[in-house]
């Protein structure tokens, strides 16, 4: 009798344990890099929303550099090493050539909210979807960034000719234009930008405000542009397609249904906090603000036209680059 009672108790405990295991929360590993900052607030907010909407049944476990190197995040997604990650398209243009269309210099000042909307529509374009499918990847959410501007330690820019020979760390679209003026694209790790500028390895860096703040380029710079308007970087949040398809309907709806709110939170935070901090930092540091004249802007825009044409020609045999460009250009024009 005693044996039977013990058996029943042990069995009940085992069943309860197994039931608990079966109901355990779904946990996704998320690969970011650096540290929490304005650039990652869309992912942080998404994680918070998903956790609350599912009552803890679905969690996004964010890691800053513990899962992969930034430039290997797309590879990690492809093999299922983790379920979600952030990456920048200019890290490996050959792997994601389609979304580099958004890094082209469209020479327009557009709001952060508008950039987010443009990116979302580009991500849904069948040409882009097909490209990302090669990596078993689905683009989930943009990380919209303002137009890049330059901070440099050289003598303040007086004419566009002064770009000749300047070693600049910057993304494709911007460097495509500045390269035609004689600037030299120079790559250094993000974490070494300030040191590289201070030691003379690079003369300048083109970044969005948050990155200038993170690298503290303004501490060693002498001047900063205010209206370069030659583009920005595209750094999407991507998920493993198999993992996305394997989610329960409840968790999938919670994830996809939280994207817009996460982006809205990110945009408000960036516009109201980060941009203002950047402006205060360069003013306090005493950097000369370089604003291009209408004539200089017109010259930059003319060079930008050839950069866009070069992009279309470069990828014409890989996908319908003209169609994707036309689609994206119309979004910027709306």
Q: Which residues pair with 63 in a beta bridge?
A: 31
Q: Let me know whether 305 and 213 are in one domain.
A: yes
Q: Of the ranges 8-17, 213-222, 229-238, which one carries the lowest mean pLDDT score?
A: 8-17
Q: Let me know whether 166 and 30 are in one domain.
A: no
Q: Let me know whether 165 and 293 are in one domain.
A: yes
Provide the pLDDT for residue 1. Answer: 44
- What is the spatial distance between Cα 162 and Cα 152, in angstroms, rounded to a whole number? 12
DSSP state of 300: H
Q: Let me know whether 11 and 56 are in one domain.
A: yes
Provide the pLDDT for residue 23. Answer: 61
Comparing C-alpha atoms, which of 28, 52, 98 is closest to residue 242?
28
Q: Let me know whether 226 and 284 are in one domain.
A: yes
Q: Let me know whether 96 and 157 are in one domain.
A: no
Q: Let me know whether 155 and 64 are in one domain.
A: no
Query: 105: pLDDT confidence band, cut at 50, 70 and 90?
Result: very high
Q: What phi-psi label fits residue 216: left (phi over 0), alpha (psi between -120 and 50 degrees) or beta?
A: left
3-state secondary structure of 70: helix
Select from 254, 274, 294 the last residue of a domain.
Answer: 274
Q: Let me know whether 57 and 200 are in one domain.
A: no
Q: Let me know whether 51 and 179 are in one domain.
A: no
pTM recorded for the entire structure? 0.87
Q: What is the domain range of residue 108?
A: 2-143+235-274
The CATH number given to whatever domain includes residue 209 is 3.40.190.170
Q: Let me know whether 174 and 320 are in one domain.
A: yes
Decide if pLDDT at 10 tops 50.
no
Structural domain count, the chain: 2
Q: Let me know whether 155 and 198 are in one domain.
A: yes
Beta strands in 104-217 (DSSP E): 137-141, 149-152, 167-169, 184-185, 204-207
Q: What is the pLDDT of residues 283-329, one digit of tens each?
A: 999 999 999 999 999 999 999 999 999 999 999 999 999 999 999 99
Q: What is the pLDDT of residues 139-192, one digit of tens each?
A: 999 999 999 999 999 999 999 999 999 999 998 889 999 999 999 999 898 889
Provide the pLDDT for residue 172. Answer: 80
Q: Let me know whether 30 and 134 are in one domain.
A: yes
Torsion of CA 119, 120, 121, 123, to 10 degrees: 80
Q: Which residues contact 286 (CB under 8 A, 6 or more apart)?
A: none
Which phi and psi (to 5°) does residue 328 adopt? -70, -40
């Amino acid at each position: 009798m005693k044996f039977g009672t013990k058996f029943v108790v042990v069995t009940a405990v085992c069943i309860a344990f197994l039931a608990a295991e079966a109901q355990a929360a779904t946990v996704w590993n998320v690969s970011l890099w650096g540290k929490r900052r304005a650039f990652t607030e869309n992912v942080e907010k998404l994680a918070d929303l998903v956790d609350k909407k599912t009552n803890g049944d679905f969690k996004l476990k964010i890691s800053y550099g513990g899962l992969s190197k930034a430039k290997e995040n797309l590879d990690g997604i492809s093999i299922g090493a983790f379920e979600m990650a952030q990456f920048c398209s200019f890290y490996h243009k050959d792997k994601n050539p389609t979304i580099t269309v958004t890094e082209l210099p469209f020479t327009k000042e557009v709001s952060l909210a508008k950039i987010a909307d443009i990116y979302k529509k580009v991500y849904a374009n069948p040409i882009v979807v097909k490209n990302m499918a090669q990596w078993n990847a689905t683009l989930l959410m943009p990380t919209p960034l303002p137009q890049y501007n330059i901070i440099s330690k050289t003598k303040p820019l007086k004419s566009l000719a002064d770009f000749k020979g300047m070693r600049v760390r910057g993304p494709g679209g911007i460097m495509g234009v500045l390269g035609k003026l004689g600037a030299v694209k120079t790559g250094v790790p993000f974490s070494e930008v300030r040191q590289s500028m201070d030691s003379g390895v690079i003369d300048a860096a083109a970044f969005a405000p948050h990155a200038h703040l993170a690298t503290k380029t303004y501490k060693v710079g002498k001047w900063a542009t205010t209206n370069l308007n030659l583009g920005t970087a595209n750094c999407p949040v991507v998920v493993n397609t198999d993992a996305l398809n394997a989610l329960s309907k409840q968790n999938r709806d919670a994830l996809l249904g939280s994207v817009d709110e996460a982006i809205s939170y990110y945009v408000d935070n960036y516009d109201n906090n980060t941009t203002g901090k950047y402006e205060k930092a360069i003013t306090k540091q005493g950097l000369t603000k370089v604003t291009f004249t209408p004539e200089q802007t017109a010259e930059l825009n003319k060079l930008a036209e050839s950069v866009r044409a070069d992009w279309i020609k470069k990828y014409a045999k890989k996908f319908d680059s003209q169609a994707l460009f036309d689609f994206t250009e119309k979004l910027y024009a709306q």
